[in-house]
Structure 1
Amino acid sequence: MDVEILEFNVPGGTNTLLVLKDVETQLHKDELYTILYEKFSQFGLLFQVSLHQLDSVAGSGITNYIIYIRYYSGRSCSQARSAVQRQKLGLHKMCGGYVRLGQPRTRDGVVPLLRFRCEELANYYLGFNGWSSKLLYHRQEDSDPLTIKYVTVVLLEFRKQELSCEGAGLIQETIDLEQELLYQRVNVAKRSIGEAFLAAWGKVMFVVLHGSKVHIEINTAKRDAFMYNPLWDQPQIQVKEADYMVDGDGEEEIVDEVGEADTSLFSDEDTDGRCNIQETDGRCLIQERPIEIEIETN
């Protein structure tokens, strides 16, 4: 079965790289780039087309190039390599010489794709309506006075597959006193959003069948740099201490820290052991133990 797994990382290895050596042409570099991009993009989405000039033949206008063509898909690269070997692209005529394949080199390490490339890859395989994103949390967090700290959480949704995943990004930088503060805040905020999207796309995998049918999987083993609490943007206030005051008639009232009187805490019956009200000679005698109610603001 023809199955390929694509992750949102910079493609590496020999199976996605096509190298063309000894490409001799009189075409301008920009014109050659456009022609190559059009010819090789018919096999799949291109990650990069790179032209490196080797030398020029004096007086002839002919320039010798070595060209690197990188695909996201190894299947696409294999099809392009086969087309070059069979001379189906007409490169030998266009370039005025024999075009031969070079030996690609393996690159070590995994590098995540930039945000715009993640969206480009998703649009190619899913279409423009195949996914959506949502900003769940984006705020400047408290830090020391000389540091700007932003936290962002985003959500990716794939409604047709009924799948979703979140990504969190945290960026903090020391304030440069020689630069405008607003510019630095905007820069840190943008980078925080980008970091969150990279974390979210990094959990997505495309399982491509026969180069066309796409199945989505979410890598639940990957973890963000920190955990996102959905209650961050829903602050809750609870009273944890109460003060007492006596009015002109000698009656006591409980006043919370906001300054609002609340006498509903007293009842005629001692139901929870907090207070006991007894009426003697028209006056209320209050017997109660201190009430401790905590205030926590998230």
Structure 2
Amino acid sequence: MDIEVDIIEFKVPLENNKTIFVWDIQPSFSEAYIYVCPNATVAEPGFYALVKFYSSAQASKAQRATDKQCLFQSSPLKVRLSTKQNLSFYSSKPLSLSKCQNLANHYLGFGGWSTRIVTLKDISNCVDAGCQEETDDQSVLLKYGCIAELTFPQHRMSCQGVGVAEEIIDNDRDPEEKLRKRGTLMKRAKDKAVVAAFEKVLVMILGNGKVAIEIKYDPDEILPEENSEGVIKVNDISWNEFEDADSNIEEDFPWELTVDLPH
């Protein structure tokens, strides 16, 4: 007997079976109240919406539960699974770090995964590697690279991701401001590395409710050794000392209306 498997990926969903199309939304709400798109000018006034799910099973469940229901308005909504790709709606961007963390917590639990920094290195002046950008005499390139490891202890699996963050700053900046900027770049490189590791992960929800993990390995990917020369260990860094005021701003996608329904 075949076992139904729902595959969850740590990326913006693209599949039609993970997207529901909602229409016949009454024009009584403003776009500030509900994130929707206005109907075409040739149609009657109203709105429609596309809602994306990580899980195809949850998308199907939501469609069945909401179709022909009034919900937040006086007339019934029409809700269907998407059948046609809208290229302006899709994006190849990865999930933000917070969404990766929330998704992992939802399916694996808070103790079901962990991360550690393998290496964090200043690569601003790696001329031999050909990665130094041209700057004028009044500016300097700051660039950090990070390798992060993502581990799933209950499944005895792990993978690594690489992240790079860089910025050109003025030479005449205050030394303390340069130090804060370095700390911010280190954190950005670390966050990007963790996101890159999550992108390799497939969470498989079996029909019996059990969860399995698979890792997508790239045979062409080459990661530096853990004891690389010039490495800065993460436990030497106090991130709180370097937090900029804007470092916690989440790079969300305003159109990503993901809904997690209870099991």
Counterpart amino acid of 2:217? T
Partners of 1:27 and 1:110 in 2: CA distance: 31
The structure-2 alpha-carbon separation of the partners of 1:222 and 1:24, relative to structure 1 and needing over 3 Å to count, comes to farther
2:196 corresponds, among 199, 203, 213, to: 199
- Please state if 1:152 is matched with 2:146: yes
User: Contact 2:20 / 2:79 at 8 angstroms: preserved in 1?
Assistant: yes
For residues 12-60 of structure 1, the C-alpha deviation after alignment (integer angstroms, 9 at most, x for no partner) is: 1311111211112756767x65xxxxxxxxxxxxxxxx433559xxxxx
Q: How does 1:81-92 map to 2 (within 5 A)?
A: 81-85=63-67, 87=68, 91-92=69-70
- Please state if 1:118 is matched with 2:118: no
1:209 corresponds, among 187, 191, 206, to: 206
Name structure 2 gaps, 5 residues minimum. 126-131, 133-138, 232-263
Partners of 2:71 and 2:217 in 1: CA distance: 50
Partners of 1:211 and 1:24 in 2: CA distance: 40
Q: How does 1:5-24 map to 2 (within 5 A)?
A: 5-24=7-26
Q: CA RMSD in A?
A: 3.1
State the Cα distance separating 1:82 from its structure 2 match.
1.7
Q: Residue 165 of structure 2 corresponds to which residue in structure 1?
A: 171
User: Contact 1:203 / 1:222 at 8 angstroms: preserved in 2?
Assistant: no
1:75 corresponds, among 57, 62, 66, to: 57
Aligned residues: 206
Higher strand proportion: 1
Q: How does 1:1-298 map to 2 (within 5 A)?
A: 1-24=3-26, 26=28, 50-53=35-38, 64-85=46-67, 87=68, 91-92=69-70, 94-101=72-79, 104=82, 105-106=84-85, 107=87, 110-143=92-125, 146-177=140-171, 180-210=177-207, 212-221=209-218, 224=221, 227-232=223-228
TM-score for the superposition, normalised by structure 2: 0.67
User: Contact 1:25 / 1:94 at 8 angstroms: preserved in 2?
Assistant: no
State the Cα distance separating 1:130 from its structure 2 match.
0.6
State the Cα distance separating 1:66 from its structure 2 match.
1.8
For residues 199-234 of structure 1, the C-alpha deviation after alignment (integer angstroms, 9 at most, x for no partner) is: 21122111111283210011122655x522111258
**% identical aligned pairs:** 26
Partners of 2:229 and 2:124 in 1: CA distance: 14
Q: Residue 287 of structure 1 corresponds to which residue in structure 2?
A: none
Partners of 1:98 and 1:195 in 2: CA distance: 43
Q: Residue 43 of structure 1 corresponds to which residue in structure 2?
A: none
Partners of 1:93 and 1:199 in 2: CA distance: 38
Structure showing greater Rg:
1
